[in-house]
């Protein structure tokens, strides 16, 4: 039995699908009962669980051979960093009671850094806590998800300008499709964990893009010219607040992109294995634009 926390998300749903297609039993853990039906159609056992509730996490782990663990940054939480750290700590305590289980923990590029990386610093906390609690641990660090551009696509399609926090717009950065992360996560669970050392795996897409390249990919899908525009650093916080984030969450993103633009966030040199997905950015954009048009 493979247990997937966050099974309704892009990565979790892809991993669940891959595992089911390979003939494995999957227990999908979700918070919202409305997410149950689609996963049950895949043949998953679906259970409700909350990473802030240690008892529900412990129940979900019963009989597990492997676990895929996602501790998300909570949206609309007044203290997203504090809440995520607490969910990590709850998960670590529950996992400590199951030393026989192989855990694939979803993490981020740059999670080895211990200061000044905003959201990525929370994944440093996750890696530290899980290294202490989980004897059979695989850390799956992914580059920025291509699907994150969905937040600004409507504005780009309507104005012809793609706002970017990546500076300068001709500086390439790593990214990856959530689908490719999910496929790799499923394979890592099937592979298991034979030794005592922590396995560190980094994944990004088949090529790196700069913001100009992102705009070009969107132009090709949209059939019109889209131009990348570096959003001035002085406008970041106000823009994020207008997008509905609170001040604490906005600051986490500002700190993240400051670190990204300084070249601090990348695959850790010399650490573990590197994998490259197959999904190109234009394929992701085609799906996102189609979804926008269907609304």
Average pLDDT, integer, range 77-89: 96
- Going from the C-alpha of 46 to that of each of 4, 43, 56, 60, 191, the distances in angstroms are 10, 9, 13, 10, 23
Answer for the pair 88, 129: CB distance below 8 angstroms, yes or no. yes
Stated as kind and residue range, the H or E segment containing 211 is: helix 211-222
pLDDT at 202 over 90: yes
Alpha-carbon span 111 to 98, nearest angstrom: 24
Alpha-carbon span 104 to 86, nearest angstrom: 19
pLDDT range class, residue 295, cuts 50, 70, 90 = low
Rg (CA), the chain: 19
pLDDT at 117 over 90: yes
Domain of 260, in residue numbers: 2-294
Q: What's the total number of domains in the chain? A: 1
Average pLDDT, integer, range 197-218: 97
pLDDT range class, residue 194, cuts 50, 70, 90 = confident
pLDDT at 101 over 70: yes
pTM of the predicted model as reported, rounded to 2 decimal places: 0.95
pLDDT at 183 over 70: yes
pLDDT range class, residue 294, cuts 50, 70, 90 = low
Average pLDDT, integer, range 242-247: 90
Contacts of 104 (CB under 8 A, 6+ apart): 66, 67, 68, 69, 138, 140, 185, 188, 189
Average pLDDT, integer, range 45-54: 93
At 275, which CATH number? 3.40.50.720
Residue 195 confidence (pLDDT) = 76
243 against 248, higher pLDDT: 248
Residue 244 confidence (pLDDT) = 87
Total residue count of the chain as it appears in this document:
295
């Amino acid at each position: 039995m493979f247990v997937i926390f966050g099974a309704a998300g892009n990565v979790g749903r892809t991993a669940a699908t891959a595992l089911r297609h390979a003939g494995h039993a999957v227990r999908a853990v979700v918070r919202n009962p409305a997410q149950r039906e689609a996963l049950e159609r895949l043949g998953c056992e679906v259970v409700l669980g909350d990473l802030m509730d240690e008892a529900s996490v412990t129940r979900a782990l019963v009989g597990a051979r492997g676990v895929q663990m996602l501790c998300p940054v909570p949206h609309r939480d007044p203290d997203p960093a504090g809440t995520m750290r607490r969910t990590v700590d709850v998960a670590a305590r529950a996992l400590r009671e199951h030393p026989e289980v192989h855990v694939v923990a979803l993490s981020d590029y740059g999670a080895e850094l211990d200061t000044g990386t905003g959201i990525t610093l929370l994944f440093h906390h996750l890696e530290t806590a899980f290294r202490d609690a989980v004897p059979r641990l695989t850390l799956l660090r992914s580059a920025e998800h291509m699907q994150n551009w969905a937040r600004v696509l409507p504005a780009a399609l309507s104005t012809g300008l793609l706002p970017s926090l990546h500076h300068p717009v001709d500086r390439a950065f790593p990214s990856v499709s959530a689908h490719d992360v999910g496929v790799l996560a499923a394979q890592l669970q099937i592979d298991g964990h034979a030794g005592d050392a922590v396995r560190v795996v980094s994944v990004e897409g088949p090529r790196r893009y700069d913001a100009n390249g992102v705009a070009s990919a969107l132009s090709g899908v949209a059939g019109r010219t889209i131009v990348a525009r570096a959003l001035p650093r002085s406008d970041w916080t106000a823009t994020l607040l207008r997008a509905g984030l609170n001040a604490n969450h906005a600051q986490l993103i500002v700190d993240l992109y400051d670190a990204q633009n300084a070249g601090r966030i990348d695959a850790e040199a010399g650490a573990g294995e590197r994998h490259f997905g197959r999904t190109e950015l234009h394929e992701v954009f085609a799906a996102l634009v189609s979804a926008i048009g269907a609304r």
